Amino acid sequence: MAKTLEEINARIATGSAVVMTAEEFAEIAAAEGLKKAAKRVDVVTTGTFGPMCSSGVFLNFGHADPPIKMGEITLNDVPASGGLAAVDTFLGATEPSLTRGIEYGGAHVIEDLIRGHAVRLKARGHGTDCYPRTEIDTWITLDDLNQAYFFNPRNAYQNYAVAVNSSDRTLYTYLGPLHPHFGNATYCSAGALSPLLNDPLYRTIGVGTRCFVAGAPGFVAWEGTQHNPNQERDEHGVPVKPAGTLAVIADLKQARSEFFSAATMVGYGVSCFVGIGVPIPVLDEELAATLALTDADITATVFDYGVQRRARPAVGTATYAELRSGAIEIKGKKVPTGPISSLKVARRIAETLKSWVAEGGFTLTAPVQPLPQAGSQGVKPLEVRTEEAI
Amino acid sequence: MTKKRLDLTFPPRQSLKPVVYHLVKDYDIVPNILRAQIQPGQEGRMLVEVTGAKEAIAQGIGFLEAQGLTVREAASDIRLDEDRCVTCGLCTAVCRPKALVLSGEDLVFDKDRCVYCEACVVACPRRAISLTF
């Protein structure tokens, strides 16, 4: 029997909603059947905690006296954008430090701010009649800022590539070091706990969906960059390659360091682990069917990063259960596997979100606007060409 | 047969003596050098796994000490900063001898399998792993 979001929210408001993590729901569905589980459970929570490079924060510093129109902004020697109004900036997570390179970057500044550490702000201005100051060198903390919020253009990838390397040398990639001759395979998804794998057709997750972002309550702001609803899908409608993505927004002041961790990928650059969780209302049996999928039901595609081109060849597939077993078979060879996305923290996010919904009155929102669905724009390439060729 | 991991410290004047040769020739010990930092005229360190008869290993250690080396059984040299670790698991993907593995969601370190190659130290995105040697 179908439920409405209003009925579910009414139960959340009175603290009587039945809320489970995606892993718990799969167990209930296996034990009691999908129909019973769909009827009994109101909300399923998800979680993921992997490196998500396309993340960053908008900050407003407030005005100094005399005031300055800031350019050439650095925070702990990490450049931030000076291309906004006088004391606004955007700090991208992957920006490396001018003095420490990729060992410390935008993500590390964000983590330091969340941890309450003081951060050194330096900027220059060209000096105007309304902003006469030409340079500033001071220290700030997160509490001092007027506004500080995440705007992450691409988080929570719906499935991701498994990476292997057929070449003769170790490759240092955003999916970690890849040993030569298919020496290892790395993967990066929360699998059955991953938000968009639980709602593969974007029925409940859309613009305006309330969610968990780095420990803070936030929102899905837009489709994520490179959102690709047209990706190949399995019999459940679940993509078998990287597909949908989310752009999210949330208050940095409410973020928690256990759910945001700066990262340095050796030989590659700065990134950050971002905790994302989305609560999904169990509206009907059709949705319950994908919520009940386990790691054994979700397939990822293995790509050869030894071919250093935009389109890397697919060399096989594996389920997340196989990937988590520690080895998969590629071209007849047993290849050891290792994840980059933390199952431990993904579970903690799903549990935290469960307590927000079950006990904290965290109600659910219907999408104000759906994410682009299959048949709309996919991912377009960048062609290298002259103006005349257009 | 016994197997032991020894952490040897060479005094500066002793760094060039072929002690490993004597372990093999005089005590029938099979040495497997896991790590070494030996510079002429400076204090050196060597982490070596020795296999041989129990008594021969004891005698071999006596020989090394008589040469002026400090011999200790190797302690846990890989350190994990649990406050920094997010249990992503990338270290397990680069650990060839499978000393670091995931058991469910938890990271497990088997010191006996570790060859101190430092692949995990380099790969850890959180810089949570260090080697004290």
- pLDDT for the residue A176: 97
B132 or A216, higher pLDDT = A216
Domains B2-73 and B78-131 fall in the same CATH topology: yes
- pLDDT for the residue B42: 81
- pLDDT for the residue A107: 98
A180 and A102 share one domain: no
Contact A179 B101 (CB under 8 A): no
CA distance A195 to A211: 10
Using left for φ > 0, alpha for ψ between -120 and 50, and beta otherwise, residue A237 falls in left
| B15-39 pLDDT tens trace | 567 889 999 999 999 999 988 888 8
pLDDT band of A100, cuts 50, 70, 90: very high
- pLDDT at A347 exceeding the cut of 90: yes
Decide: A294 and A193 in contact? Cβ < 8 Å: no
CA distance B64 to B14: 11
Decide: B92 and B107 in contact? Cβ < 8 Å: yes
CA distance B76 to B61: 20
- pLDDT for the residue B27: 94
A293 and A344 share one domain: yes
- pLDDT at B14 exceeding the cut of 70: no
Amino acid at A74: T
What backbone torsions phi and psi does residue B57 show, to the nearest 5 degrees? -65, -45
- pLDDT for the residue B12: 81
> Could you tell me the CA-to-CA distances from B1 to A303, B30, B32, B53 in Å, in that order?
46, 11, 15, 5
A109 and A172 share one domain: no
For residue A169, being part of any structural domain is answered with: yes
Residues 6+ apart with CB under 8 A from B35: B45, B46, B47, B116, B133
- pLDDT at A316 exceeding the cut of 90: yes
Contacts of A326 in chain B (CB under 8 A): 101-102
A46 and A105 share one domain: no
- pLDDT at A233 exceeding the cut of 90: yes
A241 and A320 share one domain: yes
Tally of domains within chain A = 2
Closest-CA distance, A145 to chain B, in angstroms, reads: 26
Structural domain of A96: 62-145
- pLDDT at A390 exceeding the cut of 90: no
pLDDT band of A374, cuts 50, 70, 90: very high
Decide: B113 and B99 in contact? Cβ < 8 Å: yes
When pLDDT is averaged across residues A32-59 and rounded to a whole number, the result is 98
- Report yes or no: A66 at the B interface, CB cutoff 8 Å: no
CATH number assigned to the domain covering B2-73:
3.30.70.260
- Report yes or no: B82 at the A interface, CB cutoff 8 Å: no
Report the candidate in A229, A241, A245 with the shortest Cα–Cα distance to residue A374.
A229
- pLDDT for the residue A7: 97
Q: Shortest CB distance from B90 goes to which of A49, A176, A261?
A: A176
| Stretch among A309-318, A364-373, B107-116 having the lowest mean pLDDT | B107-116
The Cβ of residue B81 has, within 10 Å, a number of other Cβ atoms equal to: 12
Q: Is A53 a catalytic residue?
A: no
Closest-CA distance, B96 to chain A, in angstroms, reads: 9
- Report yes or no: B93 at the A interface, CB cutoff 8 Å: yes
Query: ipTM, 2 decimals?
Result: 0.94
By DSSP bridging, strand A246-251 and strand A148-155 are: antiparallel
Closest-CA distance, B78 to chain A, in angstroms, reads: 19
A128 and A81 share one domain: yes
Contact A266 B123 (CB under 8 A): yes
For residue A236, being part of any structural domain is answered with: yes
| A2-37 pLDDT tens trace | 899 999 999 999 999 999 999 999 999 999 999 999
pLDDT band of B75, cuts 50, 70, 90: low
A9 and A138 share one domain: no
Q: Which fold has domain B78-131?
A: Alpha-Beta Plaits (3.30.70)
A185 and A297 share one domain: yes
State which H helix or E strand residue A9 sits in: helix A5-13
A74 and A205 share one domain: no
For residue A380, being part of any structural domain is answered with: no
For residue A381, being part of any structural domain is answered with: no
Q: Shortest CB distance from A184 goes to which of B93, B125, B126?
A: B93
Is A1 buried (19+), middle (13-18) or exposed (0-12) by CB count in 10 A? exposed
Do you know the residue count of chain A? 390
A15 and A138 share one domain: no
In the three-class reduction of DSSP (H, G, I as helix; E, B as strand; rest coil), residue A363 is classed as: coil
For chain B, the domains span 2-73, 78-131
CA distance B25 to B52: 12
A173 and A280 share one domain: yes
For residue A347, being part of any structural domain is answered with: yes
A174 and A218 share one domain: yes
